[in-house]
Amino acid sequence: MKEIKAIYPGSFDPLTNGHLDLIERGSKIFHELVVAILRNSEKQPLFEIEERQKMLMEATARWPNVRVDTFSGLLVDYVVQQNAQAVLRGIRAISDYEYELQMALMNRKLNASVETVFMMPAEAYSYLSSRLVKEIFRLGGSVRELVPPQVEKRLHNKVRPIKAVAKR
Ligand code: PNS
């Protein structure tokens, strides 16, 4: 069998335990896995790209075949530039499917040699997203079981949670 190098792209703002679960699964089936953070996204990120890269590098250091990088421009061009053959994406629930299918098919139209591989994270992470982590943290909820410790620490340094005020 050919050795397959895959790219796992995303915003990772911030990294969650769901992303990590997928990275671990990907590291087991691909020869090499590059976690690639998108630069210049239209979204206004909470964490700078360097911070996101650092958190990912810390959290993935235990897997020797996982590397962290950043990219800009078209994903398929980055895949070719990296001499990779596949894109890894996670599907948590049916609601992810339509968006992911659209992206995978558009990427195939742009470059038919790039395959997208979907993997499912553990059920425990099926409702987890970076957006919800940020919202829960801002509103004073616990994210301890949702993100790795270094991410929780950086959230504490960056965001001052809003304390609920009881109505009289
Ligand atoms: O974690 P996200 O934000 O859902 O990741 C989206 C990402 C980075 C995979 C997607 O926006 C992307 O690949 N952007 C790069 C630009 C590109 O290639 N666009 C065409 C995709 S069909």
Q: What is the CATH number of domain 5-127?
A: 3.40.50.620
Q: How far is the CA of 76 from the centre of ligand 1 (A)?
A: 10
pLDDT tens, 136-157? 999 999 999 999 999 999 999 9
The pick from 23, 75, 100 for probing ligand 1's pocket by mutation, whose C-beta has the most ligand atoms within 8 angstroms, reads 75
What does the block give as tokens for 70? 């950043």
Residue/partner pairs of 53-59 with CB below 8 Å, 24 or more apart:
55/12, 55/14, 55/15, 55/148, 55/150, 55/151, 55/154, 56/12, 56/15, 58/148, 58/150, 59/15, 59/20, 59/148, 59/150, 59/151
Q: Give me the catalytic one of 27, 89, 130, 154.
A: 130
Kindly list the domain boundaries of the chain, sorted by start residue: 5-127
Using a 6 Å CB cutoff, which residues line ligand 1?
A: 9-11, 38, 74-75, 103, 106-107
pLDDT tens, 1-13? 789 999 999 999 9
- Stated pTM of the model: 0.95
Picking from 18, 30, 19, the residue whose alpha carbon sits closest to that of residue 124 is 18
Residues with Cβ within 8 Å of 67's Cβ and at least 6 positions away in sequence, in order, are: 32, 33, 34, 35
